[in-house]
């Protein structure tokens, strides 16, 4: 329990909550003591509204983002107060600004949070209107609050510049360790392998997200702030983590066949499973050492585990005749070879935290690292391209604008005490997707009611204002810290904070909070209903795009593998980018699938078929990674004509699938010549054998190695062709848009 509390207190969410609490509470306390309570509230709101845009990034982007947010927040506050007395100007301005601020979310996460801050500023300004010189004074105070928050946030960043990177690396190590543990679970005799594979797919979505975050931090930081040994160390660890995941994806075993094969010799698989578990356990221990800021000490001796597997293989070999043992030994040696490569990667990570590393190789690759980042620029073209109903953000912006108009209108018609609370609830809850909006609506209502009950219970027994103030600050910190972890708990603590605040300010706190709970419920219902009825963004409509992108990424990955096999040389940046894209697009497909299953049953189209396509794409990525890894790690011979014919057949199947998903009815249907392809597979070994024999007529050992290469490549090609045909068949059966 204490360890969990310590980890929570060390988290980025808690740190940000502390920063905004200091930035809000400090000026409020000082100005209240000086007799300017209202001024203190204005400064506190300025700091609070700047806080959402404080997303992890390098110092330059952090400062720029916070300053822009501060200007937008104070600008919106000024314009709302200035135009409110003139309805003909105020309402058009408010509608246009709400829509515009919603639309800038097309530029990514930072823009989304800036948009959120601006929308909150508009809603709060409608509930705290000023006139005359007060408009300028309160705008300046709001600006000051934003600058105070920016200053404190930058100071925290300078005090601990690498902590967020370390915590993200910890999360990456833990997720990878979990993935490795799932691979270990596959060796259980009665394992539910379909369920385990499903868990791996969902885990891959999380890994893709954390990988993208680490790329942003480690690579973009190098270009703006230079490269220190600490940054290089983290980058080396990250690259090793990506390699570990790719190696795991590229190496699949037929566990049922192996369990049957070694049923009379269970020790050999038990020994291997122990090694598989220790691979994950080692990564988890490294994560723990980084998290606790302690020197890493290896607990699991992976070299001894490898030797144990080698001894188990020898025992198996000795227990049978050479003819009986040969196939089993070959299988076990393949498993051992995979484990050796994973141990090598983990040892690289361990050395990064225990010895002085030589980073010469990373320095030489600096010029290519930027290519792995998502470009960060904001051309008007992107905004213009999204001004149509085909854009999810455009529909969300329209939906949010209309819902806020309805919410504000209801507040005026029924003369609600604080109609801006309805607007705040709509802004906080409403998301582009139905599933998340529905989830947040229920969580918000539950959290608000629970928080109100708890707060009133505490107020009934606590009368000391100082104690209430301390509890209010504590609730504020916890509420903000939990908002992104557990929204229900976050909403509970935020409500407790609001109740305590009103408890200190007004005698009729019960009446005020009753209105707040009611307004929250109204806002939640409006947000939920709007997402269902106003241009809903049902996920089944977007799924064909995600499936198409995943298939295209796999096709491009295969193209790069084929190019590398034909031309040899070093692995190109284009190859690595294609590999990254294949993994990322598969993760995006799984994310879309997860969103769909949160939606109403009537909107869940062909769930099993979509999941089947996701699994097929996952298997295809694994097979491509396996082929690519083999070609990279072995000295291969010249690619044969037969290889290129089969690769082209696979690419044509994938192209046809993409054409079907693009609804390109004019595209000429591709029907592979089954007989020709079958002939190619039948003759492939003979053709390859002749090519190899002609190139090495006298060297039997080299001939044997090249034939082994040919057989492995052929097996992969047969498997890839089968997968591409299954993807094509599954795509033809897909009818999501109907």
For 513-531, how does the pLDDT look when each residue is reduced to its tens digit (9 = 90+)?
778 788 888 888 898 888 8
C-alpha angle 672-677-682 in degrees, rounded to nearest 5: 165
Tens-digit pLDDT profile for residues 28-73: 889 988 888 888 888 998 998 998 888 877 778 788 889 999 999 9
DSSP state, residue 640: P
Neighbours of 555 (CB within 10 A): 23
What does each C-alpha distance from 717 to 612, 620, 630, 648, 709 come to in angstroms? Answer: 21, 11, 13, 11, 12
Nearest residue to 664 (alpha-carbon basis) of 674, 656, 672? 656
pLDDT over 50 at 89, yes or no: yes
Q: In terms of pLDDT, which residue wins out, 681 or 116?
A: 116
Tens-digit pLDDT profile for residues 530-543: 888 888 877 877 88
pLDDT over 70 at 24, yes or no: yes
Tens-digit pLDDT profile for residues 71-86: 999 999 999 999 989 9
pLDDT score at 75: 92
Tens-digit pLDDT profile for residues 206-230: 888 888 878 777 776 554 444 556 7
pLDDT average, residue stretch 561-576? 80
| N-to-C CA span, the chain | 51
The encoded tokens of residue 517 equal: 């709970």
Q: How confident is the model at residue 375 (pLDDT cuts 50, 70, 90)?
A: low
Q: In terms of pLDDT, which residue wins out, 247 or 639?
A: 247
Average the pLDDT over each of 88-102, 106-120, 561-575, 625-639 and give the range with the smallest value.
625-639
650 and 544 Cβ atoms separated by less than 8 Å: no
pLDDT average, residue stretch 484-494? 85
The secondary structure element, H or E, covering residue 594 is helix 573-596
Q: How confident is the model at residue 378 (pLDDT cuts 50, 70, 90)?
A: low
Neighbours of 653 (CB within 10 A): 25
Q: What span, in angstroms and rounded, lies between the C-alpha atoms of 379 and 576?
A: 27
pLDDT average, residue stretch 650-667? 76
Q: pLDDT over 70 for what percent of the chain? A: 85
Q: Mean pLDDT, the chain, as a whole number? A: 80
Instruction: Return all residues near 692 (Cβ < 8 A) that are at least 6 apart.
Output: 637, 703, 706, 707, 710
pLDDT over 90 at 260, yes or no: no
Residues in the chain: 738
3-state secondary structure of 429: helix
Among 148-152, 312-316, 409-413, 726-730, name the most confident range: 148-152
pLDDT over 60 at 699, yes or no: no
pLDDT score at 707: 53
Q: How confident is the model at residue 354 (pLDDT cuts 50, 70, 90)?
A: confident
What does each C-alpha distance from 329 to 99, 186, 315, 447, 633 come to in angstroms? Answer: 66, 20, 10, 59, 21
pLDDT average, residue stretch 136-146? 93
Nearest residue to 727 (alpha-carbon basis) of 623, 608, 616, 652? 616
The encoded tokens of residue 166 equal: 């370390």
Average the pLDDT over each of 65-74, 153-162, 526-535, 677-686 and give the range with the smallest value.
677-686
Nearest residue to 551 (alpha-carbon basis) of 584, 522, 585, 580? 585
pLDDT average, residue stretch 335-348? 86
pLDDT average, residue stretch 273-298? 86
The dihedral formed by the CA atoms of 31, 34, 35 and 38, expressed in degrees to the nearest 10: -10
Q: What span, in angstroms and rounded, lies between the C-alpha atoms of 492 and 489?
A: 5
Q: How confident is the model at residue 706 (pLDDT cuts 50, 70, 90)?
A: low
Q: What span, in angstroms and rounded, lies between the C-alpha atoms of 210 and 86?
A: 48
* Letter string b/e over residues 583-601, b meaning 16 or more CB atoms within 10 A of that residue's CB: bbbbbbbbbbbebbeebee
Instruction: Return all residues near 73 (Cβ < 8 A) that are at least 6 apart.
Output: 46, 49, 50, 117, 118, 121, 142, 146
The encoded tokens of residue 299 equal: 């607990």
Among 303-307, 577-581, 623-627, name the most confident range: 303-307
683 and 642 Cβ atoms separated by less than 8 Å: yes
Q: What span, in angstroms and rounded, lies between the C-alpha atoms of 268 and 468?
A: 64
pLDDT over 90 at 713, yes or no: no
The encoded tokens of residue 724 equal: 């591409």
pLDDT score at 224: 47
Q: What span, in angstroms and rounded, lies between the C-alpha atoms of 403 and 430?
A: 10
The encoded tokens of residue 263 equal: 């049923």
Q: In terms of pLDDT, which residue wins out, 117 or 609?
A: 117
To which residue do tokens 């404080």 refer? 54
pLDDT score at 683: 54
Q: pLDDT over 90 for what percent of the chain? A: 12
394 and 405 Cβ atoms separated by less than 8 Å: no
pLDDT score at 77: 92
pLDDT over 80 at 421, yes or no: yes
Domain 539-732 coded CATH 1.10.10: no
526 and 422 Cβ atoms separated by less than 8 Å: yes
The encoded tokens of residue 208 equal: 């893709």
482 and 476 Cβ atoms separated by less than 8 Å: no
Tens-digit pLDDT profile for residues 446-473: 888 888 888 888 888 887 878 888 888 8
pLDDT over 60 at 437, yes or no: yes
Tens-digit pLDDT profile for residues 291-308: 887 877 777 788 888 889
Q: In terms of pLDDT, which residue wins out, 19 or 371?
A: 19
Q: State phi, psi for 737 to the nearest 5 degrees.
A: -85, 0
Q: How confident is the model at residue 316 (pLDDT cuts 50, 70, 90)?
A: confident
* Letter string b/e over residues 611-624, b meaning 16 or more CB atoms within 10 A of that residue's CB: bbbbbbbbbbbbbb
Nearest residue to 524 (alpha-carbon basis) of 452, 599, 449, 472? 449
626 and 716 Cβ atoms separated by less than 8 Å: yes
pLDDT over 50 at 142, yes or no: yes
pLDDT score at 178: 92
What does each C-alpha distance from 236 to 164, 302, 583, 720 come to in angstroms? Answer: 17, 20, 20, 32
Nearest residue to 490 (alpha-carbon basis) of 12, 10, 17? 17
pLDDT over 90 at 188, yes or no: no
Gyration radius (Cα) of the chain, Å:
30
The secondary structure element, H or E, covering residue 379 is none
pLDDT score at 633: 67
Q: In terms of pLDDT, which residue wins out, 328 or 314?
A: 314
pLDDT score at 296: 75
pLDDT score at 122: 92
Domain ranges in the chain? Answer: 1-161, 163-371, 388-537, 539-732
Taking the whole predicted model, whether its pTM rises above 0.85 is answered as no
């Amino acid at each position: 329990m204490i360890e969990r509390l310590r980890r929570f207190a060390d988290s980025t969410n808690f740190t940000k909550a502390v920063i905004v609490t200091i930035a809000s509470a400090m000026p409020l306390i000082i100005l209240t003591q000086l007799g300017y309570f209202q001024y203190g509230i204005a400064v506190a709101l300025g700091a609070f509204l700047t806080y959402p845009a404080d997303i992890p990034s390098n110092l330059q982007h952090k400062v720029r983002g916070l300053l822009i947010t501060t200007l937008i927040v104070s600008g919106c506050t000024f314009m709302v107060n200035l135009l409110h007395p003139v309805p003909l100007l105020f309402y058009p301005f408010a509608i246009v600004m709400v829509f515009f601020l919603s639309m800038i979310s097309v530029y990514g996460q930072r823009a989304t949070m800036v948009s959120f801050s601006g929308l909150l500023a508009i809603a709060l300004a409608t509930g705290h209107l000023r006139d005359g010189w007060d408009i300028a004074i309160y705008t300046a105070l709001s600006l000051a609050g934003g600058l105070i928050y920016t200053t404190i946030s930058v100071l925290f960043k300078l005090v601990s510049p690498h902590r967020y990177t370390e915590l993200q690396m910890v999360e990456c190590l833990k997720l990878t360790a979990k993935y490795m543990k799932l691979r270990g679970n596959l060796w259980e005799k009665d394992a539910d392998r379909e369920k385990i594979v499903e868990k791996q797919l969902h885990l891959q979505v999380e890994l893709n997200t954390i990988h993208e975050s680490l790329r942003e931090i480690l690579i973009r930081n190098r270009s703006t702030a230079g490269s220190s040994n600490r940054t290089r160390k983290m980058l080396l660890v990250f690259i090793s983590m990506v390699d570990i995941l790719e190696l795991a994806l590229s190496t699949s075993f037929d566990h049922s066949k192996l369990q049957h094969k070694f049923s009379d010799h269970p020790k050999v698989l038990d020994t291997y499973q122990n090694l598989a578990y220790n691979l994950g356990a080692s990564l988890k221990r490294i994560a723990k050492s980084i998290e606790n800021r302690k020197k890493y000490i290896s607990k699991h001796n992976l070299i001894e585990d490898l030797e144990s597997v080698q001894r188990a293989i020898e025992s198996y070999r000795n227990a049978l005749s050479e003819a009986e043992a040969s196939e089993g030994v070959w299988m076990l040696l393949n498993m051992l070879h995979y484990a050796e490569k994973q141990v090598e990667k983990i040892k690289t990570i361990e050395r990064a935290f225990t010895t002085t590393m030589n980073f010469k190789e990373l320095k030489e690759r600096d010029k290519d690292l930027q290519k792995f980042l998502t470009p960060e620029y904001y051309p008007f073209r992107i905004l213009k391209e999204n001004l149509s109903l085909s854009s999810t953000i455009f529909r969300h912006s329209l939906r949010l604008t209309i819902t806020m108009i309805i919410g504000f209108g209801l507040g005026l018609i029924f003369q609600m005490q604080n109609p801006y609370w309805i607007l705040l609830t709509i802004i906080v809850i409403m998301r582009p997707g139905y599933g998340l909006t529905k989830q947040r609506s229920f969580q918000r209502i539950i959290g608000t009611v629970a928080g109100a009950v708890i707060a009133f219970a505490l107020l009934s027994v606590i009368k000391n204002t100082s104690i209430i103030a301390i509890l209010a600050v504590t609730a504020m910190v916890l509420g903000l810290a939990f908002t992104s972890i557990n929204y229900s708990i976050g909403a509970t603590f935020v409500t407790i904070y609001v109740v305590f605040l009103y408890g200190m300010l007004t005698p009729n706190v019960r009446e005020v909070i009753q209105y707040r709970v009611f307004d929250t419920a109204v806002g939640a219902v409006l947000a939920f209903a709007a997402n269902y009825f106003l241009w809903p963004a049902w996920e089944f409509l977007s799924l064909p795009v995600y499936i198409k992108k995943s298939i295209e990424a796999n096709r491009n990955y295969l193209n790069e593998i084929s190019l590398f096999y034909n031309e040899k040389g070093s692995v190109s940046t284009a190859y690595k980018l294609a590999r990254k894209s294949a993994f990322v697009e598969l993760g995006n497909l799984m994310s879309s699938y997860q969103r769909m299953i949160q939606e109403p049953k009537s909107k869940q189209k062909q769930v099993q078929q979509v999941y089947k396509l996701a699994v097929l794409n996952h298997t295809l990525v694994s097979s491509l990674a396996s082929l690519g890894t083999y070609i990279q790690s072995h000295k291969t011979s010249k690619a044969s004509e037969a290889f290129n014919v089969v690769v082209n057949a696979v690419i044509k199947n994938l192209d046809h699938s993409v054409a079907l998903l693009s609804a390109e009815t004019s595209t000429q249907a591709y029907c592979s010549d089954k007989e020709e392809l079958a002939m190619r597979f039948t003759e492939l070994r003979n053709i390859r054998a002749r090519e190899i024999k002609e190139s090495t007529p006298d060297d039997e050992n080299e001939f044997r190695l090249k034939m082994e290469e040919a057989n492995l490549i052929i097996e992969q090609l047969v498997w890839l062709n089968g997968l591409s045909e299954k993807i094509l068949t599954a795509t033809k059966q897909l009818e999501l848009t109907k």
